[in-house]
Amino acid sequence: MSCSRSRTFIVRSTVFAALCLGLLAVVTPASAQHPTLIANTDGRKTISLDGQWQTIIDPYETGYYDYRYQPSANGYFKDAKPRTKSDLIEYDFDTSESLTVPGDWNTQRERLLLYEGTIWYRKSFDYQRKPNTRLFVYFGAANYLADVYLNGEKLGRHEGGFTPFNFDITNLVRDKSNSLIVKVDNKRRRDAVPTLITDWWNYGGLTRQVKLVETPATFVQDYFIQLQKGSRNQVSGWLRLNGDKLSQRVTVRIPEAGIGKSFSTDANGYAEISFNADLTLWSPNNPKLYDVVIEAETDRVQDQIGFRSIESRGTEILLNGRPIFLRGVCIHEEAPFRGGRAYSREDAITLLGWAKELGANFVRLAHYPHNELMIKEADKLGIMIWSEIPVYWTILWESPATLENARNQLSEMITRDKNRAAVIVWSMANETPVGDARLLFLKKLIEHARSLDPGRLISAAMERHYTDEKTQMIDDPLGEYLDVLGCNEYVGWYDGLPEKTDRLEWKMKYQKPLIMSEFGAEAPYGNHGDPLTRWTEEYQENFYQHQVSMLKRISFLRGTCPWILMDFRSPRRPLPGIQDFHNRKGLISDRGEKKKAFYVMQKYYHELELTLPK
């Protein structure tokens, strides 16, 4: 993404041409999807399209394919109305039910709880066109596959349920009654990312905010402004313009630090930036954010950026040059109290507030990129983040299209969040099986991540195995390519009883820091019994007590992320009266009740806070 300097990619082929080429039926290669994602849309004039959208449920994709299973020229994207009393049109957005955006569809209507398929969304809006102004439509996320149309014309397709995308609609938008239509399809596919099985709910829909973004004709489309790797006073990065006037003087200002440096963009609108700066560094104790202004001749955009360095050396993780221990917790993007996908600032504040109460300075946002508000709140609160893409379990390692899709999701995640100090780890994968094809696949992702962002730590949540009955070994060949190793282990839950941890010794093939990226046990809040009775809070508490004693014995351990902060919905968890289709490994219930285990981790974190550098 950072190297791509081409103009915004807009698919505006006529439906006729598309039909001739068979384009509508073909998935656009992910790499060609969105080379020009706009960074920091919050720093721009936007018009929200959130609220009620008219929707049509379309399990057979009747609005897309004709009866020969060919893309239809007159699909629902035409938003047609009968013109005469004799006209035959078998759909009507106006009289169909509506859904709220942002929001998953599953939790908005009872009969959609298990729905996996297509729903068409339509928003009508007016827009006053302005001279020298471009207009984009920006989607925070659509799970999973989105086909987007404006006024009957296709803008393009986006694949991947957790990252943003945008389209230039300057030449298509009109003053009155624009019809913006999105076909969202959340059918699971073997070749998709994630693939057929996950331990979380496949919430479909326009799950994050949708907005119109106004920019000048030539605008600052993206920029990377961070401390250079290994430095605490050298800012380096790049910026990129999009438009017709690509050669400009652009000034980067950090007023509070008295900085104003100018750079010239090349014929592609690209400039590298580099300057010295005496800055107060961002850290959990002092999450300092600076106003940063990027001023081109034709545009001005403002951001809030924190500056900090993050490195690994031997088995240490160094924040601003000092060793830290990551007191973490895993979080799913599940809404506290109401259930469903989390999307709001309030959701973020609640979840991160609980993490703070636990004593955490770090969160692992599992298993896909979470919404941007979460990252921005963490930036303000001083909570460090592990962010990951949904390369989970059993991806099709040999498929070039699957790799391209994963790469694209990685690009979009990094593009969106690369200026957020809170993010310190990009994770490539979760519990993927050791093997040659998988290693090749993940090495390509690592290479790609490093090319987009040379600064952050690269990790992956891996597995361990027994070399004898008391030795746990981490020697996954992937470890060689990572900066920090993640390991998920459930000794005491899927593997024996809690006491089993007492006799285990941990070994790792690599001289690198280890984060125990998952460990946990299930208990619905309020279910009581003795410490060896499954599903009780006492068992979960016992599990954590034994885990903590074991974790304390691992000399190369530099972080812990219990699984998980809050209970979440999962189709893999049917046990009646206990799970009821929820994974109950939360330290807190989905109603906000803290379980006994919460206090075990809290105590451990408070001890760590007193004894280890923050």
Give the C-alpha separation, 387 to 321, whole Å.
22
> Binders of ligand GCB among 301-360, rule CB under 6 A?
none
Which residue's CB is nearer to ligand GCB, number 379 or number 567? 567
583 in contact with ligand GCB (CB under 6 A): yes
| Residue 30 burial (C-beta neighbours within 10 Å; 0-12, 13-18, 19+) | buried
Q: What per-residue string of b and e applies to 65-87 under the rule 16 or more CB within 10 Å gives b?
A: beeeeebbeebbbbbbeeeeeee
Give the C-alpha separation, 542 to 531, whole Å.
6
64 in contact with ligand GCB (CB under 6 A): no
40 in contact with ligand GCB (CB under 6 A): no
3-state secondary structure of 534: coil
CB of 312 to ligand GCB, least distance (A): 23
Which residue's CB is nearer to ligand GCB, number 221 or number 430? 430
**Parallel, antiparallel or unpaired: strands 568-569 and 259-264:** unpaired
163 in contact with ligand GCB (CB under 6 A): no
379 in contact with ligand GCB (CB under 6 A): no
121 in Cβ contact with 204 (< 8 Å): no
Which residue's CB is nearer to ligand GCB, number 93 or number 563? 563
274 in Cβ contact with 374 (< 8 Å): no
431 in contact with ligand GCB (CB under 6 A): yes
**The length of the chain, given as a count of residues:** 614
CB of 112 to ligand GCB, least distance (A): 23
CB of 576 to ligand GCB, least distance (A): 18
CB of 473 to ligand GCB, least distance (A): 18
CB of 520 to ligand GCB, least distance (A): 6
Which residue's CB is nearer to ligand GCB, number 340 or number 562? 562
Which residue's CB is nearer to ligand GCB, number 105 or number 392? 392
Among 430, 540, 547, 579, binds ligand GCB (CB under 6 A): 430
Q: What is the largest CA-CA distance in the chain?
A: 80
Residue 447 zone, left/alpha/beta (φ > 0; ψ -120 to 50; rest): alpha
Give the C-alpha separation, 604 to 247, whole Å.
55
CB of 521 to ligand GCB, least distance (A): 9
540 in contact with ligand GCB (CB under 6 A): no
> Binders of ligand GCB among 217-256, rule CB under 6 A?
none
Using CB under 6 A as the binding criterion, the count of chain residues that bind ligand GCB stands at: 9
Residue type, 445: L
CB of 365 to ligand GCB, least distance (A): 13
**Torsion on CA atoms 16, 22, 27, 28, rounded to nearest 10:** -60
Give the C-alpha separation, 311 to 320, whole Å.
8
Give the C-alpha separation, 362 to 378, whole Å.
9
563 in contact with ligand GCB (CB under 6 A): yes
CB of 488 to ligand GCB, least distance (A): 4
Among 199, 388, 476, 537, binds ligand GCB (CB under 6 A): 199
Give the C-alpha separation, 535 to 578, whole Å.
7
Q: Which residue matches tokens 């820091």?
A: 513
CB of 191 to ligand GCB, least distance (A): 20
Among 488, 542, 545, 589, binds ligand GCB (CB under 6 A): 488
Q: Give the residue from 377, 239, 376, 227 showing the smallest Cα distance to 300.
A: 239
CB of 387 to ligand GCB, least distance (A): 15
518 in contact with ligand GCB (CB under 6 A): yes
Q: Give the residue from 122, 124, 125 showing the smallest Cα distance to 98.
A: 122
Which residue's CB is nearer to ligand GCB, number 290 or number 539? 539
Structure tokens at 254: 């950090």
Give contact residues for ligand GCB (rule: CB under 6 A): 199, 367, 430-431, 488, 518, 563, 583, 585
